[in-house]
Amino acid sequence: MEDYAASFWIYIGVMSIFVCGAVKKFLTSHIGAMPSVLAWLCATLLVERLCVLCMPAVLARLVLCVSCWLYFTWATHKPSLPVEGKVVFITGCDSGFGNATAKRLDAMGFEVFATVLNLEGEGAKHLRRVCSSRLTLLQVDITQPQQVEQALLDTKAKLGMRDLWGLVNNAGLCVNIGDAELSLMSNYRGCMEVNFFGTLSVTKTFLPLLRQSNGRIITISSPSGEQPFPCLASYGASKAALNLFINTLRHELKPWGVKVSIILPSGFRTGQSSNTEYWDKQYKNLIQNLPPSLLEEYGEEYLLETKELFQSYAKTATEDLSPVIDTIVEALLSPQPQVRYYAGPGLYIMYFICSYLPLCFGDKFLQKLFVKKKLLPSSLRKHKELSLNNNNNNINDMNKSNNSFTKIIN
């Protein structure tokens, strides 16, 4: 009887540890870590079956000890690396994530090299005003290789014998406000130049410093590089190329001890996204440069609705950038940073739907989540109206024929 009671309480202890561990992993993990969560749940089920099959008390105690070790090894928070002496290079600090990250890291004690497009712009002035003397501002257009090389020389000169710990690839561009067919080739090229080739240039240029320090590369990408968001073809294509490059780099840099992470943020209000004049300018540029035949097929009303939907989405996006900034800090200081981080609301459910449910569910979800179009292109509307009129005429002709047939019978 006593052995049974001991086994029962050991069983309760083991199951409590495994269930609590699984719940904690589910609550704190990202969708990308789903396999580890499933593995934990499978281990829980295995232990439960073993205990049900009257596991001997000695073996049950051993399983309890192993369970405790696994729980405290995998499920508990690991201490962060020290900040002291760490130097980080960040691109795109005029506004948005880059500006906020530079301020946060400077306040934490990092030495920060922050690139801006304009040293006399509002973003640069703000950083000078609020940050310490540890922060260095560099004027860099990442699409210009000469400026990137000069930034490397300036950074090495100031570093001296010290190492560069981290590179945060943040600079990016999104100029798209229309369907893939409507997007101008200049939009595709512009996004690729900044988001892919610019980031590629910076990463390759600074890699020797990062290999020397066994440092970190953190790249801000986008879920649109993995999911087919409507009206984001040019931006999404550039981010998809970036994702593949960074993931390949991650494999290749493992022997060098350089850890590589990608951060995928949800919708945030950054840069020009809430600027009405910016969207009006993009819309006018699109109207002026579209071929007349294509503009006629889609119609100005369709394009105008798309622009207004983009503006509305930007206005409702959150201004609190802390989920992304916190993730960047974690990727810089975690002893074992994750390969992928999902930062912001709504991403977990989106990736779950798009990854594990049938394709039609994912497509519907993305359409409802982002650009909720109501208008059809002009040509489709006319075709639909014509079909409706033809159907009505056919119904009227049938009614007339029935009436005539009735009169003849009578």
The answer to whether 356 is a known catalytic residue is no
d(CA 114, CA 91): 6
- Provide the pLDDT for residue 308: 83
Helix (H, G, I), strand (E, B) or coil at 260: strand
Assign a CATH topology to domain 87-369: Rossmann fold (3.40.50)
Domain boundaries, the chain: 2-75, 87-369
- Provide the pLDDT for residue 209: 97
Low-confidence spans in the chain with pLDDT less than 50: 1, 27-33, 405
- Provide the pLDDT for residue 61: 55
Would you give the end-to-end CA distance of the chain in angstroms?
97
- Provide the pLDDT for residue 43: 61
Residue among 4, 11, 71, 235 flagged as catalytic: 235
d(CA 77, CA 53): 34
Give the pLDDT confidence of 279-321 residue by residue, as tens digits. Answer: 788 888 888 888 999 988 988 888 888 888 887 777 777 788 9
Taking only Cα atoms into account, the Rg of the chain, rounded to an integer number of angstroms, comes to 29
- Provide the pLDDT for residue 159: 94
Task: Say if CB 135 and CB 356 are below 8 A apart.
Answer: no
Task: Say if CB 365 and CB 287 are below 8 A apart.
Answer: no
Residue 111: beta bridge partners? 87
Task: Give the Å distances, CA to CA, from 40 to 23, 59, 90.
Answer: 10, 20, 37
- Provide the pLDDT for residue 154: 96
